[in-house]
């Protein structure tokens, strides 16, 4: 690692030591932040895996239920039901704090299920099918929210890792080498000064 091109003076040595202290402290803080973010990221990834399993289970129930309803009720009846069903979904932006960092995400509020059609004109599996797809919709909105946080966490981990690497591989070693170089030059100058003073004293003493 090449040292910084600065004059070997006491003031620059003090500056290098101060910068080294700040860089070392910053490295430790960033490394701690990175570890926290990685733990939170792994935790969120585990949540994604659980949700993926839940979604697969609900899909395994919802689509067969829809197929059964289609076969028993007929496409015309299902189309009439679909025209009668109207839901309003609320979406709100919220801030969640993970690993000490705020993340913006969307929270989808699912409406309560209502009856938009006549009991006489429908079959029991219609309600069961709608219930299954409501559950699937709820899980999918949760998945979208969590995946957004996962992507942003992963991006923050990358940025933090780059800063950690810059401090560890470049800034701290370069500052250390520069400080060591300046100390060496100053020590050499001090030895030369001592040697000159001794020589002068010896010369003056011999007169």
* Residue closest to 171 by CA, chosen among 30, 7, 11, 60: 30
pTM above 0.75, yes or no: no
- What pLDDT digit, counting tens, does each position of 131-153 carry? 888 888 888 888 988 888 899 89
- What pLDDT digit, counting tens, does each position of 89-98 carry? 777 888 888 8
- What pLDDT digit, counting tens, does each position of 51-75 carry? 999 999 999 999 888 888 888 777 8
What is the distance between the alpha carbons of residues 148 and 150, in angstroms, rounded to a whole number? 5
Q: Is 148 exposed, middle or buried (0-12, 13-18, 19+ CB in 10 A)?
A: middle
């Amino acid at each position: 690692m090449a040292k910084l091109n600065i004059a070997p003076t006491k003031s620059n040595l003090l500056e290098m030591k101060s910068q080294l202290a700040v860089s070392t402290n910053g490295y430790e803080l960033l490394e701690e932040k990175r570890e926290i973010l990685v733990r939170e990221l792994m935790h969120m990834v585990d949540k994604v895996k659980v949700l993926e399993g839940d979604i697969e289970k609900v899909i395994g129930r919802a689509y067969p239920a829809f197929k059964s309803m289609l076969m028993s009720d007929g496409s015309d009846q299902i189309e009439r039901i679909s025209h009668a069903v109207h839901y309003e979904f609320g979406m709100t932006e919220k801030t969640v704090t993970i690993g000490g960092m705020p993340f913006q995400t969307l929270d989808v509020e699912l409406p309560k299920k209502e009856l938009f059609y006549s009991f006489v004109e429908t079959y029991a599996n219609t309600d069961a099918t709608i219930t299954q797809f409501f559950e699937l919709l709820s899980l999918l909105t949760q998945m979208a929210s969590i995946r957004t946080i996962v992507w942003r966490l992963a991006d923050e981990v990358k940025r933090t890792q780059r800063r950690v690497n810059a401090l560890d591989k470049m800034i701290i070693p370069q500052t250390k080498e520069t400080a060591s170089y300046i100390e060496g030059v100053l020590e050499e100058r001090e030895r030369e000064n001592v040697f000159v003073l001794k020589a002068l004293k010896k010369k003056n003493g011999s007169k």
